[in-house]
Amino acid sequence: MMRILGRIWLWGVYAFLYIPILVVVVYSFNDARYSTSWKGFTLRWYELLANNRPLLDSVLNSLSVACLSATLATFLGVLAALCIRRYRFPGRKILHGTLYVLTVSPEIVMGISLLMFFIVCGLQLGILSLIIAHTTLSLPFAAVTVLARLAEFDESLMEAARDLGASEWQAFRMVMLPMISPAVAAGWLLSFTLSMDDVLISFFVTGPTFEVLPLRIYSMVRLGVKPDINALSAIMFGVTVLLVLAAWLLGTKVKRKN
């Protein structure tokens, strides 16, 4: 009895999670501008999107910022995780705690603090401020991901490498890095997604000339329901599904290889 109730609950919640977005996907093909009744299948909203220059520009902007900030954040995150795990220095515990606090810290706080910081420093708000902000946002997540892997890492392997003549850098490059590369890749992917998705921080630290996709969507959505937003939502949902599946399959393949 409990089991049946549990099953119903399970699938009920999945329905709750998916139905709204699936409805939007369905409507993206609806040949009707304002009505919610079905008027026929069409792809014209997608065509509209394809011709939306500002939208496409914002996608490009988002991709470049995401790639750059993800790479930087992963680089810094790996270094941070390494320092915390392997080296003893004053403030190590504080650093560790700070990273965890940053992962749960409300983004709006980071957004306004960086806004003020940039203005006080005289930095022009634009792609650079955005990259710095996104890197700072993603860094803790990348670090925490790598730290989790390092916690299971066999320390004697690094000692063996040094015993055989490797310097700290060589040991890291030839022994540790290859072994933690799945976690590093996961950290990069995580940082990339955080950057692509971010609204709150981007809202405050980007300049008028540089628009990113989430902000473009935000201004579109504020203006009300429009069929091209449906199409955009459908595309973004589709991309998410593909990416998650790809990451999943990659993860299981790596696990099987090891």
Partner 1 sequence: MPENSNSIIELRGITKDFEDTRALDGIDLRIGNGEFLTLLGPSGCGKTTILRILSGFETPDAGEVLLEGKVVNDVPPERRQVNTVFQSYALFPHMTVSENVAFGLRMQRRPKAEIAERVAEALRMVHLEKLGDRKPSQLSGGQQQRVALARAVVNNPLVLLLDEPFSALDYKLRCRMQVEIKRLQRRLGITFVFVTHDQEEAFAMSDRVVVMNQGRIEQIGTPQEVYEEPRNLFVARFVGEINILPGRITAMKEPGLYEAEIEGVLFPLRSARAFAEGERVHVLLRPEDVRLLEPAEVGDVPHLSGRIEDTVYKGATVKINILTDNGKTLSVAEFFNEDDQEINYHTGERVAITWVDGWEVVLPHDAG
Partner 2 sequence: MTRADLTRRLSGKPGLFRLTSIAITALWLGLFALLPHLGLVVVTFLTRGTHDFVIPSLTLANYARLLDPSFSRILWDSVWLSFAGTVCCLLVGYPFAAMMARASARVKPWLLLLVIIPFWTNSLIRTYAIVILLKSGGIISMICQWLGFTDAPVSFLYGEFAVFVGITYTFLPFMVLPLYASLEKLDHRLLDAAKDLGAGSLRTFWHVTLPLVAPGIVAGSMLVFLPSLGAFYIPEILGGARTMFIGNFIKNQFLVARDWPLGASASIILTLLLGLLILAYTFTVRRADGHHKPETEGGAL
CB of 255 to partner 2, least distance (A): 11
- DSSP label of 122: T
The sign of the torsion formed by the CA atoms of 127, 129, 132, 136 equals negative
Q: What's the token pair of residue 224?
A: 């009300």
- Conformational region of residue 212, where left means phi above 0, alpha means psi within -120 to 50, and beta covers everything else: beta
Contact call for residue 170 and partner 1 (CB under 8 A): yes
Among residues 128, 132, 179, 200, which is the contact residue for partner 1, using CB under 8 A?
179
Query: Which of partner 2, partner 1, none lies near 208, with the C-beta cut-off 5 to 8 A by kind?
Result: none
Residue in 153, 204, 198 with CA at minimum distance from that of residue 175:
153
Whole-number Å distance between alpha carbons of 31 and 35: 9
Contact call for residue 197 and partner 2 (CB under 8 A): yes
**Total residues binding partner 2 (CB under 8 A):** 80
Query: Which of partner 2, partner 1, none lies near 233, with the C-beta cut-off 5 to 8 A by kind?
Result: partner 2
Which of these ranges, 18-26, 91-99, 170-178, 219-227, lies near partner 1 under the rule CB under 8 A?
A: 170-178
Using the minimum distance from each CB to partner 1, give the nearer residue, 51 or 156: 156
Whole-number Å distance between alpha carbons of 241 and 20: 15
Q: What's the token pair of residue 158?
A: 């690094």
Which of these ranges, 40-48, 49-57, 151-159, 191-199, lies near partner 2 under the rule CB under 8 A?
A: 191-199
Contact call for residue 136 and partner 2 (CB under 8 A): yes
Q: What's the token pair of residue 112?
A: 């306004």
Which of these ranges, 42-50, 144-152, 175-183, 199-207, lies near partner 2 under the rule CB under 8 A?
A: 199-207
Enumerate residues 103-122 that contact partner 2 by CB under 8 A: 104-110, 112-117, 119-120
Distance of CA 149 to the CA centre of its chain: 19
Contact call for residue 254 and partner 1 (CB under 8 A): no
Cα distance from N-terminal residue to C-terminal residue, the chain: 41
